[in-house]
Amino acid sequence: MSDASYLSLEKLTLAYGDSVAVANLDLTIKKGELIALLGPSGCGKTTTMRAIAGLLAVKSGHVRLDGADITRVPANKRAVGLMFQSYALFPHLSVYENVAFGLKLKGMRGPELDAKVQSGLKSVGLSNFANRRPAELSGGQQQRVALARSMVMEPKVLLLDEPLSNLDARLRLEMRTELQRVQKATGVTMIFVTHDQAEALALADRIVVMKSGKIEQIGSPEDIYNRPTSSFVADFVGFENIFPLENGKMKTGAGLVDLSGSLSSEAPSAAGLAWRPRMVTLGTGPFQGTVRGTSFAGDSREYLLDSPLGPIKAEVEASQPAHALGAGLSFDLPAEKAAPLSRFV
Amino acid sequence: MTARSLFIPVTLFLVIAFLIGPFLIIVAASFSAGETLAFPPQGFSLRWIAKVFTVESFRASFGMSLFLAIGGTAAALVLGIPASYALSRYKLPGAEIVRTVVSAPIIVPGIIVGLALLRYIVVPFQVGITPALFLAHTALVLPYAVRVVSASLDNLRSDIEEAAVLLGSSRLGAFFRVVMPNIRGGIMSAFILGFVTSFNQVPVSLFLSGPGVRTLPVDMIAYMEIVFDPSVAALSSLLAFLSIGIVFLAERFLGFSRYV
């Protein structure tokens, strides 16, 4: 075992009854990494997380953690923590007792227990709330109790289920910073599940994009954001203009269309091309479109164009002159800016 | 006032009078100084209330009723809590059938339950009177136990059990550590409801009672057939106030009506 494969999923297949949720999944995670499992609902990300926790029996394949095969190890003996989306605090216990729960089960008592609980509460800034009941805390505070409750157990891996989705915008930033701080301070390996690409991009060292029980792409946030390898990932991270390629030509509503400009050399065999709305040039270019919709977004303006190629989404600086609904407009999809896709699904 | 505007208050008054009236008559009759059960009471005395405590058979049957109410309800909870848990947490095949069967004693008239138990269980298997009563009361209380405990389980998130497991608890340990403490109110409510149901039960007990072994309500009927003095009214009043007191305390401290 090396730190490079601290946690590994090997040919992992997971199913609910006869319906397969995750098929033949391979994933290797380094010690101390912060990984995001990103995908739409039903993609198998939560199922995968539950299997790592041991809450869901593995149908076939293996889960290895810190050199040991834990595929058949029961959830209460795995040293894997999970912060639930609902926080799952024990309503009948005080904040202090919630944090002490797991430590007591380990047999910890007396001053040692107290010191550990106090330092756990202190680390999330809730020392003054020790005697409160969970129902008396705000959502953000409850979440920090849940974090402390997991972290005092010193888990080998901490799993987080949609950790930011129940919080408002301000708390979200606070919690994000908090999670990064905890991760840096303790070096714990963290895996969090999210359907929100912004959350994944902001927080993760590496993002695993999932779709229909399979991994679609693994990469750094920059990779995922700038270099999606499939049309699914491209669409998921905001490339809204996507066309398949056939013999070096774009396959569009108007048949095969020549590219405007030349592709970057790295992608001669691309199966498709994708442009973000802001990569579309408006006002000049070989293509013609009609403005079907427009919306003002502060420092930019978005347009929906009808064109022979199909619908096109474009975004330009708000300082540029506005185009009215129904106006005819030429535009360009510059090939050199396009993200080449190796898979079109 | 028009006839229409009087209709609702008058109806309401009659309904309440009909519900509460007989009870008030019985309470008044218990304080009578006369020799027979009569209304209006003749004079005022506490002699019949005092007499209740001296009748030997009342003491014995009160003990039996108390034993059945406490023991039967406890047994129903021991069976009912795991059953409710399984029904509320797992998608079991035939769960609906189990639910229906478990609630059958509420729906089927007591006379039929009593006759069926007597004819097909007690007589063929030579079950003693006390065990037969105990079995019957357990079965009668079980539906209430399952219903009330299920309601409070449904209100409890199941992920706290998973949280407990991930913190090192076994599945069973999680049940006792985080489920039981959170459904305590429901269990107490089920206990009270079961206790009152069992204590007031007549038709089934009537069939299963036998020489020397009776529940209190059955004994009161038997007593009235022989002696027609106000002591039965006095005993009824005492029991009614006991029930009201228990339910009042339960509502005050447990929010009883949330569960029932």
CB–CB of A239/A227 below 8 Å? no
- Checking if the pLDDT of B257 tops 80, the result is no
Chain A residues 104-163 within an 8 A CB cutoff of chain B? 105-106, 149-150, 153
Quick one: closest CA in B to A83, which residue? B163
Rounded to whole angstroms, how far apart are CA atoms B179 and A252?
59
Give the pLDDT score at A46: 94
How high is the pLDDT of residue A280? 93
**Closest residue of chain B to A153, computed from CA coordinates:** B167
Read off the pLDDT of each residue in B142-168 and give the average, rounded to a whole number. 92
For residues B193 and B211, state if they share a domain. Answer: yes
A75 touches chain B (CB under 8 A): yes
B227 pLDDT higher than 90: no
With beta carbons under 8 A apart, name residues in chain B contacting A154: none
Tell me which residue range forms the domain holding B34: 1-45
Give Cβ neighbours of residue B32 (< 8 Å, ≥ 6 apart).
Answer: B38, B41, B42, B43, B44, B45, B48, B230, B233
Predicted pLDDT at B260: 59
Domain count, chain B: 2
User: What are the tens digits of pLDDT across the range A244-254?
Assistant: 988 778 888 88
- Record the pTM: 0.81
B74, B191: one domain: yes
Same domain, B32 and B70: no
Contact A81 B169 (CB under 8 A): no
Return all residues near B93 (Cβ < 8 A) that are at least 6 apart. Answer: none
Residues B82 and B200 in one domain: yes
Please tell me whether residues B31 and B67 are part of one structural domain: no
Give the bridge partners for B39, in sequence order: none
Q: How far, rounded to the nearest angstrom, does the alpha carbon of residue A318 sit from its chain's CA centroid?
A: 30
* Separation CA B236–CA B220 (nearest Å): 9
Residue ranges and CATH numbers for the domains of chain A are 3-226 (3.40.50.300), 241-341 (2.40.50.140)
> Which B-chain residues 163-222 have CB contacts (< 8 A) with chain A?
163-170, 173, 177-178, 181-182
CA B206 – CA B112 distance, rounded (Å): 11
Give per-residue pLDDT as tens, B93-108: 888 888 888 888 888 8
**How many residues in total does chain A contain?**
345
In-domain check, residue B148: yes
Of B162, B168, B182, the CB nearest to A92: B182
Same domain, B21 and B95: no
Q: Are residues B62 and B175 in the same domain?
A: yes
Q: Are residues B107 and B29 in the same domain?
A: no
Q: How far apart are CA A330 and CA A288, in angstroms?
A: 4
Answer yes or no: do A88 and B160 touch at CB < 8 A.
yes
Give the Cα separation of B7 and A3 in Å (integer).
84
* Residue B50 belongs to a domain: no
Same domain, B214 and B127: yes
Tokens 């949609």, residue? A162
Look at B162 and A153 and tell me if their CB atoms are within 8 Å. no
Residue B73 falls inside a structural domain: yes
Closest approach of B91 to chain A, Cα-based (Å):
12
Same domain, B108 and B191: yes
Distance from CA of B185 to the nearest CA of A (A): 12
Query: Which chain B residues contact residue A82 at CB under 8 A?
Result: 162-163, 166
Q: What is the ipTM of this complex?
A: 0.85
* CB contacts, 8 Å: A106 with chain B: 168
Q: Which residues contact A268 (CB under 8 A, 6 or more apart)?
A: none
Long-range contacts of B168-175 (CB under 8 A, 24+ apart): B168/A76, B168/A77, B168/A102, B168/A105, B168/A106, B168/A153, B169/A76, B169/A105, B170/A76, B173/A105, B175/B85
Residue B84 lies in a domain: yes
Query: Would you say B37 and B233 are in contact if contact means Cβ atoms under 8 Å apart?
Result: yes
Q: What is the CATH number of the domain that holds B188?
A: 1.10.3720.10
pLDDT of residue A2: 57
Residue pLDDT, tens place only, A140-177: 899 999 999 999 999 999 999 998 888 888 888 888 88
Q: How far apart are the first and last CA of chain B?
A: 40
Q: Is residue B14 domain-shared with residue B70, that is, in the same domain?
A: no
Residues B23 and B64 grouped into a single domain: no
